[in-house]
Amino acid sequence: MITVFGSLNADLVCQVAQLPGPGETVIGPDYTVVPGGKGANQALAAARAGAAVRMVGSVGRDAFAETALRSLREEGVDLAAIAEREGRTACAFIGVDPAGQNLIIVASGANLETRAAQLRRAGLEAGDVLLLQMEVPHLENWEAVAFAKQAGAQVVLNLAPAGPVPAEVLRQVDVLIVNETEAAQLAGQLGLAERDPQDVGARLAADFVSHCIVTLGRAGVASYGAAGSRRLPALAVEVVDTTAAGDAFVGGFAAALEAGRAMEDCLAQGIVTGGLACRHLGAQSSLPAQREIAEALASYPA
């Protein structure tokens, strides 16, 4: 079982000719309202990749709550540990340009009321995977990590968006997933001399976490751990929207990890899942089905 402790959003997505700069207004023709949030995106990606998934988080008592939960419910994700809060369901405001690049503002709302106590009530077992991001209160994340380690579960932390992590917490993490920006920011927080993202990944795996994965966008993925380092290329696709690519990678990777597959196979499934998600507009609407992932894996990396 994969248990995702994290965020649930309603995403308002607008396609624009160019992303705005400071003080600039740009006009888009329309917008869509779709489910999102890094936690929910990763939970749905893992479920569509074939894993059994439980979501632990919070929504408000408002119309956006059903939007945030709809795809997870349809995909059979266990929602028993979702709490209804007095605050508003979180919303993300996303602009997407013709190259598929995006600009995102998140109003956290009920995500800030998510508590590790919800996870304790849901339960974890030895061999489970606990998947975390950084869109709920950080102290609740660290309490969740401690509980997972007591239960004998594996901990996967996606440090997104970037934020400070105590060194003692990092040393309890089995797999840390960062992009280039997040790697550099974490290096600065920890006082590391390394600044190149790949050097940071190697140093983190040597001194802090069991395994560190650095996602490199179009350059693929670099992975570091006790079994050595690996570089895998990105999947070649026509990019429409990169909004959920990172979350898709994490969910696809976690599904393979929970299934007990070799690290290189987990990385490949993550890369393929993330690449396929770039072909469509939106977050959860872009996440590929298990059949699509299997077909793409059959020809990856050729």
Domain that includes residue 245, residue range: 2-7+38-86+112-299
Q: Which of 105-109, 176-180, 238-242 has the lowest mean pLDDT?
A: 238-242
Residue 167 is predicted with a pLDDT of 96
Residue 301 is predicted with a pLDDT of 87
Residue predicted with more confidence, 239 or 184: 184
Give the residue-averaged pLDDT of 23-30.
94
Inform me whether the pLDDT recorded for 285 exceeds 90: no
Q: How far is the C-alpha of 217 from the C-alpha of 215, rounded, in Å? A: 6
Average pLDDT, whole number, for the chain? 94
Give the residue-averaged pLDDT of 47-52.
98
Residue 121 is predicted with a pLDDT of 85
Inform me whether the pLDDT recorded for 61 exceeds 90: yes
Residue 302 is predicted with a pLDDT of 59
Residue 145 is predicted with a pLDDT of 98
Residue predicted with more confidence, 240 or 160: 160
Residue 70 is predicted with a pLDDT of 94
Which of 78, 128, 174, 247 is the catalytic position? Answer: 247
In a domain, 30, yes or no: no
Inform me whether the pLDDT recorded for 243 exceeds 80: no
In a domain, 221, yes or no: yes
Inform me whether the pLDDT recorded for 35 exceeds 80: yes
**CATH (domain of 80):** 3.40.1190.20
> In residues, how long is the chain?
302
109-122 confidence digits (pLDDT tens): 999 999 999 998 88
In a domain, 91, yes or no: no
pTM surpassing 0.85? yes
Is 30 catalytic? The answer is no
Residue 282 is predicted with a pLDDT of 72
Give the residue-averaged pLDDT of 14-31.
93
Give the residue-averaged pLDDT of 36-40.
95
In a domain, 27, yes or no: no
Q: How far is the C-alpha of 11 from the C-alpha of 104, rounded, in Å? A: 10
Inform me whether the pLDDT recorded for 221 exceeds 70: yes
Number of folded domains in the chain? Answer: 1
Instruction: Provide the sign of the torsion angle of the four alpha carbons 19, 25, 30, 33, taken in this order.
Output: positive
In a domain, 266, yes or no: yes
In a domain, 208, yes or no: yes
In a domain, 69, yes or no: yes
In a domain, 243, yes or no: yes
140-162 confidence digits (pLDDT tens): 999 999 999 999 999 999 999 99
